[in-house]
A and B are shown apart, each in its own frame.
Chain A
Amino acid sequence: MLATTAAIPVVAAPQAATSDPASPAREQFEKNTHQMAQVKVPIATEPPLHFKA
């Protein structure tokens, strides 16, 4: 009689949450947006962009 190998359920090792390599950049950009949102910019303020016709 062939020995049967009991099927031993393989328990997967707990995996670290999949880290998204883009997360640090996204979090930094969100922080920037939040910080800039705190600044009250008068409606008449124009961006300092130059165009010469």
Chain B
Amino acid sequence: MATVSNDVFFASIAELTTRLRAKEFSSVELTRAFCDRLEHIGPRYNALALSLQEHAIRRAHAADEELKRGRYRALQGIPFGVKDLIAVKGHPTTWGAKPFAGQVFDADARVVEKLDKSGAILIGKLAMIELAGGGYKTAGASMTGPCLNPWDRARWAGGSSSGSAAATSAGLVTFALGTETNGSIVTPSAFCGVTGLRPTYGLVSRHGVMAASWTMDKVGPLCRSAEDCGLVLQAIAGGDPQDPGSAGKGFSYAPQFARKPQDLTVGYAPVDFEEWVDAAARPAFKTALEAVKSMGVRLKEIELPDFPYAAVAETISRGDRVSIFEDLIRSGKVDQLADKAQITWLKESLNLTACEYLKAQRIRSLIQDAFRSLFIDVDLILAPGRIDVAPRISDPIDAGSTRNPEPKSPGIHGRLVAAGNLAGLPSISLPCGFAGNLPVGISFVGRPWYENQVIGLGRMFQTQTDWHRRRPPVA
């Protein structure tokens, strides 16, 4: 029996694939090593919702049989986890919330089916903010407790795809799936130092995935690199008649066909990097900006169209969530949630009027038009993923984004997440350095269906930097 060395836990998909095909270790050996690590270390970070070791070992035996016969699938034998709002047949899917602790579905979510067909091996379900958020104010808004950051256990991993980011960062899975309604992939990716991809709305099926907002939810990967994001996205993308939001499009990862950096104009706001980011993080962001410039792209100073993005996103989110969870709220079971602010937010959302909701959606149409115009002038938008490092577990999660003195302009960082989600735009979050011992990241946002360009630029950034290869101090 081959020994699986510790370096596999931080290896890329391509590296693991090469070693599996070279029979350096079997899929069963690799899977068992990852499962043991996930079960052993995952609870230290409150990152694990459910281990699926038995299920995984069965799959790994099948993968080994295929490898013996020379049948190679795209993600054959690669261990992964999913946020616990993605259904896995016959196993609990809790949505991170006590009222749904015993919930079991009788079918896999479409993305689980697709990854299974691609040969990847699901080893566990990962912790999340209860109901994927909505007005929560504390890191403890989860049935599994606050998810701790592998870089510093006194800090939060971010949300709502908390366990997906923490487990990837700590080398407990090779990649994980998360979801984003309004920042839930890009935020924990930035806080935990992993590469996260939010796909264009409608590219990845949400069939079998908890709905938080019908018109804003996206499923996407959190990985070790932009390259891995491309490989996973290729496996999970595609039309699905069972997802009403599906655009019916597929995705082929082909970075070789992306436009050259010299042909790209990237919009950004210098004030974000010079004044808004946390003082301790400024050297890292300055270096990151230099690395982007050295790739040859044209940087162009931009302003975002003037809209109340956060207000519009929150109003749409309220309207959708209050309808989705109406029974939970009216039955009083909502009081079993862990976060008081989230409980109040949901209850008060019953008072949202149709007029307000539709006003928000109509403003959203204007936002989409405005971004179409913006993307005539620039090909991509660059901003800090978050301007602050991960907050302490004991602090309110929305504290700390004020600056004294106030910068001369608002920049774009504070509005780009809501704007990008409202317009359904793809985004990649890339680790770009540290402030003290905590990772920080930048984000590229592209026009719809521009994933190859967004991933391609991320891939190029990662050929010039090694921040994505740094490992947290996991025992």
* A29 surroundings in chain B (CB, below 8 A): 315, 318, 348-349, 351-352
Say whether A39 faces chain B, with CB atoms less than 8 Å apart: yes
Q: Mark A6-49, 1 if CB is under 8 A from B, else 0.
A: 00000000000000011011101101110110110100011111
Q: Find out whether the CB atom of A26 lies under 8 angstroms from the CB atom of B348.
A: yes
B356 partner, pick from A22, A33, A41, beta carbons under 8 A? A33
| Cα separation A46 to B365 with both chains bound (whole Å) | 7
- The smallest C-beta distance from B316 to any residue of chain A, in angstroms, reads 9
- Which residue, A45, A47, A49, A50, has most C-beta atoms of chain B within 10 A? A47
**Stretch from B65-73, B165-173, B337-345 forming part of the interface with A:** B337-345
B347 partner, pick from A22, A33, A47, beta carbons under 8 A? A22
Interface size of B as a range: 20 to 34
Say whether B307 faces chain A, with CB atoms less than 8 Å apart: yes
| Cα separation A35 to B395 with both chains bound (whole Å) | 28
Q: Find out whether the CB atom of B244 lies under 8 angstroms from the CB atom of A25.
A: no
Q: Find out whether the CB atom of A25 lies under 8 angstroms from the CB atom of B348.
A: yes
A36 partner, pick from B315, B341, B345, beta carbons under 8 A? B315
Q: Find out whether the CB atom of A25 lies under 8 angstroms from the CB atom of B345.
A: yes
| Cα separation A33 to B348 with both chains bound (whole Å) | 14
| Cα separation A21 to B315 with both chains bound (whole Å) | 20
* B351 surroundings in chain A (CB, below 8 A): 29
Interface size of A as a range: 20 to 34
Q: Find out whether the CB atom of B315 lies under 8 angstroms from the CB atom of A32.
A: yes
Which positions 423-442 of chain B face chain A at CB distance < 8 Å?
A: none
Question: Given A31-B311, A35-B311, A49-B361 in contact, is the A41-B348 Cβ separation under 8 Å?
Answer: no
| Cα separation A25 to B303 with both chains bound (whole Å) | 30
* B245 surroundings in chain A (CB, below 8 A): 50
* B44 surroundings in chain A (CB, below 8 A): none
Question: Given A36-B311, A38-B308, A48-B368 in contact, is the A21-B359 Cβ separation under 8 Å?
Answer: no
- The smallest C-beta distance from A49 to any residue of chain B, in angstroms, reads 6
Q: Find out whether the CB atom of A47 lies under 8 angstroms from the CB atom of B358.
A: yes
A residues with a Cβ closer than 8 A to B are: 21-22, 24-26, 28-29, 31-33, 35-36, 38-39, 41, 45-50, 52
**Chain A to chain B contacts (Cβ below 8 Å), 13 pairs:** A25-B344, A26-B348, A28-B314, A29-B352, A32-B314, A32-B356, A36-B363, A39-B307, A39-B366, A46-B362, A47-B364, A50-B245, A52-B244
